[in-house]
Amino acid sequence: MATTRYTDNHEYIRVEGAAAVVGVTDYAQSQLGEVVFVELPLLGRRLVKGDEAAVVESVKATSGVNAPASGEVVEINRALEEAPGLVNQDPAGEGWFLKLRLTNPAELEPLMDEAAYLAFVATLD
């Protein structure tokens, strides 16, 4: 079963086998508004937890997507280059940004689980 963790910047990371899928949460995409462009990292790029991993441009603003954990980019979601709106339509599914091969899985421990994240988001409205 996949384990999903969340940051207070509204990124998620879902461990699926040897890779971890990174994207933004439904809350994040709703705050961004219509996503019109996504800049993805290069394959093989090594990210340190907190590094800017991708850039999202919406009709409202441009925002960075930070790496929730350290690792090497092993896959990017090329579908976002042609259809950035996937981030709005299905952020936890088809709208993912990149996959990391984690270098320090222990970095996931302090991140929020789903219940904690939902409680956190409830304090923002």
The pTM assigned to this predicted structure is 0.95
Q: Which residue, among 42, 35, 2, has the nearest Cα to 20 in the 3D structure?
A: 2
- Residue 125, CA distances (Å) to 8, 31, 79, 119, 121 in order: 14, 11, 32, 11, 7
Q: Which residue, among 11, 39, 13, 14, has the nearest Cα to 27 in the 3D structure?
A: 11
- Residue 48, CA distances (Å) to 67, 68, 69, 99, 100 in order: 7, 9, 7, 14, 11
How confident is the prediction along the chain (125 residues), in pLDDT tens digits per residue? 568 999 999 999 999 988 999 999 999 999 999 999 999 999 999 999 999 999 999 999 899 999 999 999 999 999 999 999 999 999 999 999 999 999 999 999 999 999 999 999 999 97
Strand partners, 5: 13
Terminus-to-terminus CA distance in the chain, angstroms?
31
Domain 3-109, CATH 2.40.50.100 — does that match?
A: yes
13 close to 20: Cβ distance less than 8 angstroms: yes
Element (H, E) at 101: strand 98-102
